Amino acid sequence: MITIDDVIEGMEFQSEDSHYYYHVKSKSVVMLTEEEIRYAENEVDLDRLPEWQRESVLLANELIDNPDGAFIDLPNKEDIDEYRMMEGFIMTIDDEKASSVLWEAIEGRGAFRRFKDKVHQYDLQDAWYGYRDARYEEIAMEWCKTHHIEYRKK
């Protein structure tokens, strides 16, 4: 059984180079890098790799050999949509001035940086991170339910 925190951590730390999956056999969240997947695709001799990397390359082999069943992708940035989260958060703000400033901040390029700056300027960081954390938890729990994965909150 996985924890929602494990799913959330995987969702938050995904990047172009590292991908997080639910590994069905071990019932755990695992991370594989592009490099490890390339090693598996190219059948690199495991003895040539550092010991700490061998297990990940073996998992990458499993991913390549069984792409439709051994692993389930965790929600990605498109699934999470932090821009919509920012909009949802702004709608919860009662202070009209702060709300107006935040709406302006999320327009155009650099929206995420400006939004975070304004959240700090108006001392809303605790409210923002609480809102964001709750949305991540909702997404993670819904993902688990969709994929029939047993989870616990902590």
Q: What is the pLDDT of residue 150?
A: 94
Written as six digits, the tokens of 21 are 């999956």
Task: List the chain domain ranges.
Answer: 2-73, 77-152
Global pTM reads: 0.86
Strand partners, 127: none
pLDDT tens for the chain, 154 residues: list them. Answer: 899 999 999 999 999 899 999 999 999 999 999 999 999 999 999 988 899 899 999 999 988 887 677 899 999 888 999 999 999 999 999 999 999 999 999 999 999 999 999 999 999 999 999 999 999 999 999 999 999 999 998 7
Q: Tell me the CB-side half-sphere exposure of residue 6, using CA atoms within 13 A.
A: 18
Q: How far apart are CA 152 and CA 138, in angstroms?
A: 13
Q: What is the pLDDT of residue 67?
A: 67
CA distances from 28 to 12, 146, 153 (A): 16, 16, 14
Q: What is the pLDDT of residue 121?
A: 96
Quickly tell me which residue has 């172009």 as its tokens.
Answer: 16
